[in-house]
Structure 1
Amino acid sequence: MRRAVDSLALNNSEGSILQSKLEFQKFLGYSIRSLAEVVTCLYKAKNRFYLKEDEFEFYYKFAYDLMNSLIAFRKSIQ
């Protein structure tokens, strides 16, 4: 999960520096996929009883909201 979260942040920063809009959109896509990996890890952690249900719900909602924000931001770049 840490690697996926790190990948999300690193792709955002890498794509934002001196890249074309199309290239930045591509890196945001990588970030979105990394966030999907985080959500999968959250489910695995919950199913293995590493997370309580309320912890899972908190992190899942955060990831869901972030996913929607990243998708909207990616669409706004033209």
Structure 2
Amino acid sequence: MYVFSFEKLEVWQNARGLILDIYKLTGKFPSNELFGITSQIKRSSSSIATNIAEETSRNSNKDKAHFLTISYASAMETLNHLIIAKDLNYISDIDYIESREKIEKICNQINSLKKYYLSKE
């Protein structure tokens, strides 16, 4: 089976892991949040990896950097949802800290990759 270039990126692998973590965490959320924060955080976390994958299909470094910017924004949206979930006591302090640290790492990786592309312009 062919492995696409995005699948080889550590940042994409980490973002994929975050998605799985988010799905596990949201399984504990109240059922009345299914179409609220549960849906929002699943979509925003998925968008991180999706835009990293889409970035690899772009031809120009400027376009690549643009999709990484979108990915970073999705990471911030995911973090915002995690903060709210913690405030509502939907997740534990430990789950919050672990997820936040993963997002911070992913954001650092996104920024490094974006700087690389912009330095090539």
TM-score norm. by structure 2 comes to 0.62
Q: Report whether the alignment pairs 1:41 with 2:76.
A: no
Q: CA deviation at 1:26?
A: 0.3
Uncovered stretches (5+) of structure 2, i.e. residues with no partner: 1-40
Q: Classify the secondary structure of the residue corresponding to 1:65.
A: helix
Relative to structure 1, the CA distance from residue 17 to residue 2 in structure 2 (aligned partners, 3 Å threshold; closer, same or farther) is: same
Q: CA deviation at 1:18?
A: 3.8
Runs of 4+ in structure 1 off by over 3 angstroms are none
Relative to structure 1, the CA distance from residue 55 to residue 8 in structure 2 (aligned partners, 3 Å threshold; closer, same or farther) is: same
Return the alpha-carbon distance in structure 2 between the equivalents of residues 28 and 49 of structure 1.
31
Question: Which structure has the bigger radius of gyration?
Answer: 2
Return the alpha-carbon distance in structure 1 between the equivalents of residues 85 and 75 of structure 2.
15
Aligned to 1:17: 57
What's the Cα RMSD here?
A: 0.9
Aligned amino acid, residue 71 of structure 1: N
Aligned amino acid, residue 78 of structure 2: V
Count matched residues. Answer: 78
Aligned to 1:27: 67
TM-score norm. by structure 1 comes to 0.93
Identity between Structure 1 and Structure 2 (%): 22
Aligned amino acid, residue 38 of structure 1: T
